[in-house]
Amino acid sequence: MERKESKNLEKLLLDDSFVHWIKYGNDPSWEKWANENPKHQQTVLKAQQVVSAFQLKEDFPTAEKIDLLKNNIDDNIILHGGTNPVNWGVWTKWAAAIALIVSCFAVLYNVSKIHGPEVGQAYKLIEKSTHNGQKLTTNLPDGSKVMLNTNSKMSYEFPFNGNERIIHLEGEAFFEVTRDTLRPFRVISSGITTTALGTSFNINSKHEKGVDVSLLTGKVSVQNLSGESVILYPGNKVVAIDNDLVHTEQFDYNQELGWKDGVLIFRDVSFPEIVDKLEDWYGIKVDSRLKLKDNIHYSGNYKNETLEEVLQGISFIYHFEYTIHADESRVEIYN
Amino acid sequence: MKTSDGSLWEGLRQGEKSAFDQIYYLYVKLLFNYGKRYTANDELIEDCIQNLFTDLWVKRKKLGKTNNIKAYLLLSIKRRILRQIGIQQKKLMVHLHVDFVFEFSVEDKMIQEANHVEKVKQLNRTLTKLTPKQKEVIYLKFYEDLSYKEIAEIMNVEIKAIYKITARALNFLKENFTMLVFYWLLS
């Protein structure tokens, strides 16, 4: 303490612990020193003046900007392939019991709805759907954003019921959910319920094999009809086939989410699958008289490219000719 | 604060996403604010912040230990920003010169008198006469509360030199602030 006493203020300001104490307090040894001598208290007062003079103009980003940057970072992380493993529900039995109760309530709720909505509350069923070659971005009443892929349909009741936000989906959609911890956001698709609080994810029930749920940011739980559930972390994907939840740890960003950025993607697909996809994506009818010698599988990415450009790319592999009848939205493919 | 820093960092190294998220939300404002001392280009700062945190997670296994996350992140963002500014200035064929700019806040608690706005203006005029290094030390010490050792690392200067720069800066402020808040230093 002797050493400290001899210091004048300028020297004290060169001491880390002194400056820290002046700024934030909570340092018994300096407090003891200050109380030893009224002169020290004078010094402390001056030091406080100096340090508080260094209150600077701050340039902080907005809360929206902070979240936006965080989303970008989480996306980058996924693209770099670094995420946590899926936490499988080891509590499956308990979850099943809880789910059973939940679904009972759901039934009751539906029954009471048939008899008419609550007094003073008029519910309206809102439906949105897309056709071949058509995508739709829409906002929900809670501020969440939905991007509906081609040939898909979703519906919800407006306004949302007080405790949860329920969306029914057939087909494929990407959701950016506004955070609301008091009202879980649930998407029901072919018996699979995906629950989120505030997050972005993709659900695909377009193909016959089952329902895919891919999580981009945040956290969701995916539950089947038997009440088994799995928690997804960013980058995780779960495929529900016949009520079984099969998970892939890391999904392929372009394959699952490329559609929302305008990336048409083929991964190891047969020719009939290519035709289906082209019809779906461009809203056209494909008439193929192509005779294939062997069953070649094709892979390729097309970002924001025209039908012509895509056909050209594929025709190199399968050696076909094509004619586009734009007025009829029809394409002919032949040898 | 220092002990929780250690465990938070350890969590990140072990791959806990929640630790990573926490670090982001704890420090992102501070990093942006620090970046603004070097450049007015918000986008450049945002890019650097994105890359910094992406790398932090992707390369988490290669991270060393630290007890002061703030000092680590400030050093890291500074390197990235200066590299970017360097690349930009090279393109424009401009000799690399980066100033360190900050201002006192007009809302300062202690200068709330009738003429406080004028006083803050005078303070800020005086500040511009400090060298960039002096300004940076003052900022990192009295605003960010880093230790002189950490400041030495961030500025890549010997710790003895840091003490010297600080003393000189305080002395300069004392001489130029005779009418202002630093009047007491003369007494």
Q: Tell me the CATH architecture of domain B2-91.
A: Orthogonal Bundle (1.10)
Cβ-count burial of A145 within 10 angstroms (0-12 exposed, 13-18 middle, 19+ buried)? middle
Element (H, E) at A163: none
Does residue B103 or residue A122 have the better pLDDT? B103
- Nearest-Cα distance to chain B for A79, in Å, is 10
Of the partner residues B21, B57, B104, the one whose CB lies closest to the CB of residue A56: B104
According to the model, what pLDDT value does residue A116 have? 39
pLDDT higher than 70, residue A275:
yes
CA dihedral defined by A212, A100, A109, A123, rounded to 10 degrees?
-20
Q: Which two tokens stand for residue A317?
A: 């592999």
Asked whether the beta carbons of residue A55 and residue B104 sit closer than 8 angstroms, the reply is yes
Q: What is the pLDDT of residue A204?
A: 87
B109-186 has CATH 3.30.565.10 classification: no
Residue A24 has pLDDT above 60, yes or no: yes
pLDDT average, residue stretch B8-30: 91
pLDDT tens readout for residues A155-176: 998 888 778 899 999 989 999 8
Indicate whether A75 pLDDT > 60. Answer: yes
pLDDT confidence band for A296 (50 / 70 / 90):
confident
Contacts of A55 (CB under 8 A, 6+ apart): B104, B105, B107, B108, B109, B110
- What's A326's DSSP letter? G
Distant-in-sequence contacts of B23-27, Cβ < 8 A, 24+ apart: B23/B56, B23/B69, B23/B73, B24/A70, B24/A73, B24/B53, B25/A66, B25/A70, B26/B69, B27/B69, B27/B70, B27/B73
Rg, Å, chain B Cα set? 19
Cβ-contact B29, A65 below 8 angstroms: no
∠ Cα B103 B22 A218 (to 5°)? 120
ipTM of the complex: 0.81
Contact between B104 and A53 using a beta-carbon 8 Å cutoff: yes
Residue A111 confidence (pLDDT): 34
Residue A97: pLDDT over 50:
no
In this structure, the dihedral spanned by the alpha carbons of residues B159, B165, B169 and B172, taken in order and rounded to 10 degrees, is: 140
Does B114 have pLDDT greater than 80?
Answer: no
Give how far B45 is from chain A: nearest CA, Å.
11
Q: Locate the domains of chain B by residue range.
A: 2-91, 109-186
| pLDDT tens figures, A201-245 | 888 888 777 888 998 888 888 888 887 888 888 888 888 887 788
**Class for domain A83-255, per CATH?**
mainly beta
User: Architecture of A262-334 per CATH?
Assistant: 3-Layer(bab) Sandwich (3.55)
pLDDT over 70 at B182, yes or no: no
- Give B93 to chain A, closest Cα distance, Å: 29
Chain B residues 18-47 with a CB less than 8 Å from chain A: 21, 24-25, 28-29, 32-33, 36, 42, 46
Whether chain B has a CB inside 8 Å of the CB on A143: the answer is: no
Closest residue in A to B160 (Cα–Cα)? A14
Instruction: Quickly state the pLDDT bin for B127 (edges 50, 70, 90).
Output: confident
With a cut of 50, say whether residue A6 has pLDDT above it: no
Is the per-residue pLDDT at B183 higher than 80?
no
pLDDT for the residue numbered B165: 93
State the Cα–Cα distance between residues A188 and A197, nearest whole angstrom: 15
The secondary structure element, H or E, covering residue A286 is: strand A285-288
Query: For chain A, where do the domains classified as CATH 3.55.50.30 start and end?
Result: 262-334
Residue A85 has pLDDT above 50, yes or no: no
A105 near B CB under 8 A: no
Question: A229 with A222: CB under 8 angstroms?
Answer: yes
pLDDT value for B116: 60
Angstrom distance (rounded) from CA A205 to CA A192? 10
The residues of chain A that CATH labels 2.60.120.1440 are 83-255
B131 versus A45: which is more confidently predicted?
B131
Residues B50-105 pLDDT 10s: 999 999 998 898 888 887 899 999 999 999 999 888 877 776 666 666 788 877 76
pLDDT tens digit sequence for A27-71: 888 988 888 888 888 888 878 777 776 767 788 898 888 988 988
**pLDDT for residue B102:** 77
Task: Say what the pLDDT of residue B148 is.
Answer: 93
Structure tokens at B167: 């003393």
- Using a CB–CB cutoff of 8 Å, tell me whether A73 touches chain B: yes
| Residue A246 near chain B (CB below 8 Å) | no
- Residue numbers in A near B147 (CB within 8 A): 16
Order of strands, edge to edge, in the sheet holding A145-148? Answer: A136-139, A145-148, A172-176, A200-204, A211-217, A237-241, A244-248
Residue B3: per-residue pLDDT: 47
A87 vs B: CB within 8 A: no
B49 has a chain A CB within 8 A of its CB: yes
- Residue of A23, A39, A45, A55 to mutate for B, most B C-beta atoms under 10 A: A55
Strands (E), B9-162: none
Q: Name the band, by pLDDT with cuts 50, 70 and 90, for residue B36.
A: very high
Cβ(A152)–Cβ(A206) under 8 Å? yes
Q: Any chain B CB within 8 A of the CB of A42?
A: no
> Is the minimum CB–CB distance between A53 and chain B shorter than 8 Å?
yes
Q: Which amino acid belongs to residue A241?
A: I
Give residue B34's pLDDT.
Answer: 94
Angle at A224 (CA atoms; ends A124, B21), nearest 5 degrees: 85
Work out the pLDDT band at A1, boundaries 50, 70, 90: very low
Residue B187 has pLDDT above 60, yes or no: no
> Is the model's pLDDT at B167 over the cut of 70?
yes
Top-ranked range on mean pLDDT: pick from A54-63, A78-87, A143-152, A249-258: A143-152
CB contact at 8 A, A300 and A277: no
Mean pLDDT of all residues belonging to chain A? 78
Question: A67 to chain B nearest CA, in Å?
Answer: 9
Give residue A80's pLDDT: 60
Beta strands at A285-288 and A330-334: parallel, antiparallel or unpaired: parallel
